């Protein structure tokens, strides 16, 4: 593995660790505000990745590291504990808790977008060219020092922007165990919500939903990437 691939892998891993930590902390914070202190007691209301890694060491550390250095992008998972009795009693609050994670990713994507657009507007960044534009190179540094701070910011903001667009979209799929499914259940009439929640608690159903999500998502990655590019240019 050459140094360039190692550096690229580090960019993706750090962005994944940060973005997923913010995602899970948002879940935990909204649950606490809604009256469920389960995640708070577990230390998940925190922007430190350590409590989230302790809860899901494979999904937060091992798999993201392996995929970042072998696939060129980071893949993994995390989770936030909550009280199912609380969620059943307060379905609207549970829905807000579920939406908090994807909304956190959307917020991070917007912040990165603002940084990218500001750089393009001031001439600090430039269009990298049709043959070079990629998820980790949405912009290029316009200066001469290819390995300087400008190049670092161009790659870092590109990765942060693209990754959070993808994370938000994937988690919003209305399939269990995705956040989108929990959010939909939260706005259903009470009797339907109770039945849907019972089905979603079945591990087999969640496994099927996850498999379907992984089949669907690759089909929307390219349109999402093109939409992201168009939003910048």
Both tokens of 197, joined, read 């929640």
**Does the CA dihedral 80-81-84-90 come out positive or negative?**
negative
Q: What is the pLDDT of residue 189?
A: 73
Residue 60 DSSP code: I
Over pLDDT 70: what percentage of the chain? Answer: 95
Q: Are 74 and 136 in contact (CB under 8 A)?
A: no
**Alpha-carbon gap, residue 109 to 180, rounded angstroms:** 18
**Alpha-carbon gap, residue 109 to 160, rounded angstroms:** 7
**Alpha-carbon gap, residue 213 to 209, rounded angstroms:** 6
Residues 110-164 have pLDDT tens digits of 999 999 999 999 999 999 999 999 999 999 999 876 668 999 999 999 999 999 9
**Alpha-carbon gap, residue 141 to 133, rounded angstroms:** 12
**Alpha-carbon gap, residue 96 to 178, rounded angstroms:** 14
**Cα–Cα separations (whole angstroms), residue 112 to 61, 67, 149:** 23, 23, 16
- H or E, element range at 125: strand 125-126
Tokens 């948002």 belong to 26
Q: What is the pLDDT of residue 197?
A: 72
For the full predicted model, state whether its pTM sits above 0.85.
Answer: yes
* Residues composing the chain: 233
């Amino acid at each position: 593995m050459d140094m360039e691939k190692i550096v690229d892998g580090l960019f993706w891993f750090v962005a994944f660790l940060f973005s997923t930590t913010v995602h899970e902390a948002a879940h935990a914070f909204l649950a606490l505000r809604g009256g469920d202190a389960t995640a708070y007691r577990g230390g998940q209301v925190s922007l430190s990745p350590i409590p989230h890694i302790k809860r899901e060491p494979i999904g937060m550390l091992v798999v993201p590291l392996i995929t970042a250095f072998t696939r060129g992008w980071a893949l993994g998972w995390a989770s936030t504990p909550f009280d199912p009795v609380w969620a059943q009693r307060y379905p609207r609050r549970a829905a807000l808790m579920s939406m908090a994670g994807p909304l956190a990713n959307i917020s991070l994507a917007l912040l990165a977008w603002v940084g990218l657009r500001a750089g393009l507007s001031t001439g600090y960044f430039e269009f990298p060219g049709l043959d070079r534009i990629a998820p980790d190179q949405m912009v290029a540094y316009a200066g001469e020092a290819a390995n300087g701070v400008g190049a670092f910011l161009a790659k870092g903001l590109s990765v942060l922007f693209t990754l959070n667009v993808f994370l938000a979209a994937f988690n919003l799929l209305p399939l269990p165990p995705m956040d989108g499914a929990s959010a939909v259940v939260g706005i259903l009439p009470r009797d339907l919500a109770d039945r849907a929640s019972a089905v979603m608690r079945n591990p087999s159903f969640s496994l099927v939903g996850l498999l379907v999500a992984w089949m669907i998502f690759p089909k929307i990655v390219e349109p999402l990437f093109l939409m992201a590019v168009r939003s910048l240019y």
